[in-house]
Amino acid sequence: MKLHYKPGACSMASHIILNELGAAFELDKTDTDTGKTEAGESFLKINPNGYVPALITDDGEIITENPAVLQYLADQSPDAGLAPPNGTLARIRLQEALNFVSSELHKSFGPFFGGKELDGEARKKAEAGVVRRAAHIEQRLADGRTFLLGDTFTVADAYAFVVLNWAAFVGVSLAAHPKTQAYVARIAKRPASIKAMVAEGLMEQAA
Ligand SMILES: N[C@@H](CCC(=O)N[C@@H](CS)C(=O)NCC(=O)O)C(=O)O
């Protein structure tokens, strides 16, 4: 398998899951600005939308869109338990969580990555948008559960972790949501997360 990624971007969720699974994979650091893969090919031929992640399977299929890529990966090794079995209510709950992360939480960061400096009212509004969506994560964790669906880590947690981690990067405080902060710190300590962050150049390898 080959994962087209950008350091620290949402594609890191799939990178973490590949590590969790101990799968054999290659990485291609793709430049979405120039539209070129690491090998210098046109990325638009792989994903006409021009964004990561894009996963090339061992059969040569191209899979895009975070919720689809993540579920595909989880289904390669069902025994790893990174997604509940298809056809169960638990799987629907996973899809509910993935869609929330994708279309609400992830998109709430859009204004910070729009290429324009945010100041004054625009910044306040953008910060409030992130904090409002993070409140939903806080509610999910209110009963003391470790992860979004309960006590088992799933692909939705990898995706939520990567997105929530952007808060620190763009300078949005999640102090109003202490359980969410602890959740992010917990997932950051997983060996699969550390390995992905080191490989993507976000942190140094511990001595
Ligand atoms: N709907 C897409 C969104 C993916 C996305 O937003 N990717 C960002 C990185 S987090 C990206 O590649 N942006 C570069 C661009 O759009 O040119 C998905 O869920 O996979």
> Is 204 among the domain residues?
no
The arithmetic mean of pLDDT across residues 35-39, rounded, is 96
The arithmetic mean of pLDDT across residues 82-100, rounded, is 98
Find the CATH number of the domain harbouring 131. 1.20.1050.10
Same domain, 124 and 178: yes
Report the chain's terminal Cα–Cα distance, integer Å: 30
- Look at the chain and report how many structural domains it folds into: 2
> Is 207 among the domain residues?
no
pLDDT at 28 over 90: yes
* pLDDT for 57: 98
Same domain, 75 and 150: no
User: Is there a contact between 105 and 160 (Cβ–Cβ < 8 Å)?
Assistant: yes
Site to substitute for ligand 1 among 3, 4, 6, 10, most atoms within 8 A of C-beta: 10
The arithmetic mean of pLDDT across residues 8-35, rounded, is 98
* pLDDT for 104: 98
Q: Give the pLDDT confidence of 121-144 residue by residue, as tens digits.
A: 999 999 999 999 999 999 999 999
* pLDDT for 70: 99
Same domain, 111 and 181: yes
Same domain, 47 and 94: no
What average pLDDT is seen over the chain?
A: 97
Q: What is the band of 119 on the pLDDT scale with cuts at 50, 70, 90? A: confident
Q: How far is CA 204 from CA 4, 17, 117, 156, 195, in A?
A: 22, 20, 29, 25, 10
pLDDT at 206 over 80: no
Kindly list the protein residues whose Cβ atom lies closer than 6 A to any atom of ligand 1: 6, 9-10, 32, 50-53, 64-66, 102
Same domain, 74 and 106: no
Q: Give the pLDDT confidence of 48-75 residue by residue, as tens digits.
A: 999 999 999 999 999 999 999 999 999 9
pLDDT at 116 over 90: no
Cα of 51 from ligand 1 centre, angstroms: 4
Q: What is the band of 205 on the pLDDT scale with cuts at 50, 70, 90? A: confident
